[in-house]
Homo-oligomer: A and B are copies of this chain.
Amino acid sequence: MEKTKYSLATRELKKHKKSLSNPRLKILEYLCYYRDHPTAEQMYVDLHKELPTLSKTTIYNTLHALAELGLVKILNFEENKARYDIITEEHGHFKCQTCGGIFDFQVEQKLIPKGELLGYKIMERNLYFKGICKKCL
């Protein structure tokens, strides 16, 4: 699963004639390993240790490039900063107000538009819940 995402991403990069540069591979590795929806800042701080030349601009560039190819999803539910997710399949996010953790959850029913959305073309669904996780309760 983890390996799958990584090799799928590298394959997709090659297909689009994007080089498998060190920054790109390290950023991909990071996203595949720490699946806790990191911010660009978090990735920068962590990756800077093993790749001291890495710049923040490259992180943003790369994340946008990956998002462009559909390999990363940019999450905008926080008030200020974005978070990045290697899992691009539709799923919901739950943020625990106590520990701050962000957890994935599956979204069941395929949801046929009804009510006010009848006749609307739904192309993307984002679910963001808040509360307290089991561990913190």
Would you call B120 and A94 a contact (CB within 8 A)?
yes
Size class of the contact patch on chain A: 35 or more
Residue from B79, B97, B104, B124 within 8 A of A116 (CB atoms): B104
The verdict on A131 contacting B124 (CB below 8 Å), with A78-B76, A79-B82 known, is yes
Would you call A134 and B106 a contact (CB within 8 A)?
no
Would you call B120 and A97 a contact (CB within 8 A)?
no
Mark A96-126 against chain B: 1 for CB-CB distance below 8 A, else 0: 1100000111101000000111111111111
Contacts of A106 in B (CB 8 A): 115-116
Residues of A61-113 contacting chain B, CB below 8 A: 74, 76-79, 82, 94, 96-97, 103-106, 108
The verdict on A129 contacting B132 (CB below 8 Å), with A76-B79, A77-B76, A137-B121 known, is no
